[in-house]
Every structure is written in structure tokens, then in C-alpha cells.
């Protein structure tokens, strides 16, 4: 049995004080991250330079002693490895070559051909498994097929995932072929991450909330189910965290139907609702609005305590409902951690 608190919570244990980590814990709100990023030159070089990626992964562990480190990389490295050009425009976000026709799709590589390109990511994990403190769990991750597809189809981030919804309506066969290719590539990628030292993996479906009804089942639930089943077949006992962000009532039963060991909850639902409807099936993670990391004060303390209390009767990993933002104050992160660990 492991001593790592994060792995114990994922195994279904109710702990007196929940383990803590934070989405985007290595990021621009930290001066030491900005310094290493400047050394790397740009964001993608940082992702693909293993010793620097390991360094930024370790920075929030040194500063705060989080219970888990998440691999520093990006969900868009898979499209990059598949051959869709990827670049980041400072202040705007990611850009990729678009996939809207069969000819665009035909240029992509096969799901098994991504490993040479992603070798630096696996090396980052190997460095981290050597260098992390014994009590810190190592989390690998990938984007879920639907979320990654929304960026590949549009060639950028979109507020409503319009281009992906349009392709789905106009050429469903092509859309589904892309989802299948991404599902296969995600299995290969995460499986290699586990071989390189990841002790759990998280599937980020940041845009799951824009899939409704049957389409939520087909393009959020089914791919997650296939990825999780295959990973667990290859790596028995591997715990998996799923994040179908803004799924709303789609959170209900998500762990059971997909086989996920933990469901990450955004901040659009209340912790009390999530405790009653999601935690009944196992571990939950998340829910604190990332704005509290900017605003701090009594509201941060009260809201942190409320979430800890709401989830105190079952397995729980303390986290935010989405990534911490660059304008966050590092002191507020410490205040959140102190509040959780005081057990108040």
C-alpha cells in the first residue's frame, strides 16, 4: 500500500485532510516559472526541453509542498506529434493548421508514430520520478479527443467550439475518424507516460460542456471509456482522473460509465451538489473558483473551508475548478493550502 496521499484518495480512501494540488500549478503566476520560460525562449521549447520542463514542474512542489506534481506539457502536443503544425502567439494562445477536409486528415501521422516526437516528454517524466520527494505523486495527462479535436478543426481556441460542431454536422464521418485517431493516439501517449513514471493520468476534456445529450455520450463518455479500459488493461491498477469540464448533469455517473477513479469538478456546480451526486461513486477533485487565487482574503478562506467540509465524508482531492490564472497572487495559494491543512 502506498503512502502517497493522492494515490490513497484515488484508491477511494477518505482522509482526514485531503491531498492538494492545483491545475496549472506551474505557470505564469510564479516568478520562477517566468524566469525558466524566458531561459527556454518560448512555451513549446519549454515543453520539449526535458530538464527545463522538469524544473518548472518541481517549482511549485518546492515552494508549496503540493501532494502531487503534474507533468509540464500541453494537451496540444498530440496534434503537434501527429503532424498538425502548432505554434503559440504570445497573448493570444495556440494556433494550428486546420483539419476540415479528408485531404487535411490524410496528412496526419498514425497513432503509433508519435513517440519520437514526444520522447522529450517521456524523458521529463523519468527525471521527475527520480527527483520528486517520496511523498509526492506524479500525474501524467492528455487532452480528451473532443477537446483536442476542437483546436485541430478550428486551428485555434474558440469560445463556442463552433467550427468543430460545424464539421460534426457537415461531415460526421470525417469528424468521427479524427476522434478515433485521437483516441488511439491518446492511449499510446498515456501508456508511454505510465511506463516513464506517471503514477496516475488525467484526461482533460475542457470543452465537454458544449456536447449535449447523445453527443456527450458519443464524443465525451465513449472515448474516455475506451481510453481508460485500454490503459487499465495495459497497466493494471492504474488510477485515472477524468475532467469533463462543465458537464453539469453529465457528471452524474461519469465515473461509473467511463471507469474513471476520480472525477474533477469545475466551479459551475456546488460542492454540496457534487458530494450528493458525484462523490457517491468515488473520489472527486476540484471546485474552488480560480478567481479566489486572485482576490484572496476571507472569501478564499470561507470557500476553501466550505469545499473541504462538503467533501469530507468521502474520498476527495483538493483542487481548483480550472487552471490558476497568471494574475493570481502566490500568497493566496499558500493561504489556500494552510486553510486546507489546518483541517479547519
Q: What does each C-alpha distance from 295 to 22, 139, 320, 326, 335 come to in angstroms?
A: 17, 28, 14, 13, 12
24 is catalytic: yes
Q: Count CB neighbours of 299 within 10 A.
A: 12
Q: Is the Cβ of residue 70 or residue 221 nearer to ligand CP3 in the bound state?
A: 70
Rounded-to-integer distance, Cα 324 and Cα 308, Å: 19
Main-chain dihedrals φ then ψ at residue 237, nearest 5 degrees: 90, -5
Chosen residue from 18, 19, 79, 94 binding ligand CP3 by CB under 6 A: 94
- Region 127-166 residues binding ligand CP3, contact defined as CB under 6 A: 141, 143, 157
CA geometry: angle 330, 333, 339, nearest 5 deg:
145
- Region 201-220 residues binding ligand CP3, contact defined as CB under 6 A: 204, 206
172 is catalytic: no
Task: Write a three-state SS string for 98-167.
Answer: CCCCHHHHHCCCCHHHCHHHHHHHHHHHHHHHHHCCCCCEEEEEEECHHHHHHHHHHCECCCCCHHHHHH
- Cell numbers of 8, please? 490513497
Taking the complex as a whole, how short is the minimal distance between the CB of residue 21 and ligand CP3, in angstroms?
A: 9
Beta-sheet pairing, 93-96 with 137-143? unpaired
299 is catalytic: no
Instruction: Determine the interface stretch with ligand CP3 among 65-73, 215-223, 289-297, 332-340 (rule: CB under 6 A).
Output: 65-73
**Catalytic residue, candidates 29, 64, 74, 261:** 74
Residue 24 interacts with ligand CP3 (CB under 6 A): yes or no: yes
Q: Is the Cβ of residue 57 or residue 279 nearer to ligand CP3 in the bound state?
A: 57
251 is catalytic: no
Residue 25 interacts with ligand CP3 (CB under 6 A): yes or no: yes
What does the radius of gyration of the chain's CA atoms come to, in whole angstroms?
19
Number of residues in contact with ligand CP3, rule: CB under 6 A? 22
Taking the complex as a whole, how short is the minimal distance between the CB of residue 60 and ligand CP3, in angstroms?
A: 8
Residues marked active site are found at: 24, 28, 37, 74, 151
* Footprint on this chain of ligand CP3 (rule: CB under 6 A): 23-28, 37, 43, 70, 72-76, 93-94, 141, 143, 157, 204, 206, 323
Amino acid at each position: 500500500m502506498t503512502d502517497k496521499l493522492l494515490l490513497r484518495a484515488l484508491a477511494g480512501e477518505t482522509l482526514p485532510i485531503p491531498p492538494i494540488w492545483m491545475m496549472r500549478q506551474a505557470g505564469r503566476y510564479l516568478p520562477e516559472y517566468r524566469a525558466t520560460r524566458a531561459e527556454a525562449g518560448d512555451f513549446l521549447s519549454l515543453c520539449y526541453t526535458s530538464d527545463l520542463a522538469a524544473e518548472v514542474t518541481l517549482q511549485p512542489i518546492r515552494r508549496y509542498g503540493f501532494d502531487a506534481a503534474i507533468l509540464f506539457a500541453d494537451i496540444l502536443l498530440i496534434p503537434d506529434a501527429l503532424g498538425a503544425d502548432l505554434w503559440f502567439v504570445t497573448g493570444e494562445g495556440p494556433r494550428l493548421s486546420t483539419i476540415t477536409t479528408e485531404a487535411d486528415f490524410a496528412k496526419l501521422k498514425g497513432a503509433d508514430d508519435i513517440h519520437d516526437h514526444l520522447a522529450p516528454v517521456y524523458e521529463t517524466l523519468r527525471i521527475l520520478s527520480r527527483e520528486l520527494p517520496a511523498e509526492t505523486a506524479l500525474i501524467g495527462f492528455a487532452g480528451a479527443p473532443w477537446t483536442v479535436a476542437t483546436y485541430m478543426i478550428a486551428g485555434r481556441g474558440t469560445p463556442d467550439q463552433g467550427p468543430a460542431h460545424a464539421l460534426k454536422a457537415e461531415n460526421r464521418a470525417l469528424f468521427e475518424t479524427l476522434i478515433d485517431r485521437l483516441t488511439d493516439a491518446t492511449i499510446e501517449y498515456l501508456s508511454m507516460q505510465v511506463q516513464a513514471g506517471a503514477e496516475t493520468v488525467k484526461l482533460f476534456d475542457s470543452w465537454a460542456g458544449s456536447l449535449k445529450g447523445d453527443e456527450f455520450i458519443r464524443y465525451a463518455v465513449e472515448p474516455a471509456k475506451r481510453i481508460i479500459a485500454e490503459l487499465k488493461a495495459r497497466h493494471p491498477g492504474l488510477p485515472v482522473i477524468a475532467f469533463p469540464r462543465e458537464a453539469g448533469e453529465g457528471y452524474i455517473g461519469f465515473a461509473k460509465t467511463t471507469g474513471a477513479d476520480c472525477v474533477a469538478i469545475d466551479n459551475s456546480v456546488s460542492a454540496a451538489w457534487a458530494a450528493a451526486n458525484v462523490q457517491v461513486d468515488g473520489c472527486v477533485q476540484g471546485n474552488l473558483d480560480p478567481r479566489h487565487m486572485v482576490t484572496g482574503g476571507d472569501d478564499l478562506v470561507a470557500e476553501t473551508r466550505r469545499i473541504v467540509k462538503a467533501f469530507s465524508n468521502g474520498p476527495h482531492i483538493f483542487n481548483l475548478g480550472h487552471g490558476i490564472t497568471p494574475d493570481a497572487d502566490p500568497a493566496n495559494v499558500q493561504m489556500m493550502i494552510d486553510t486546507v491543512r489546518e483541517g479547519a
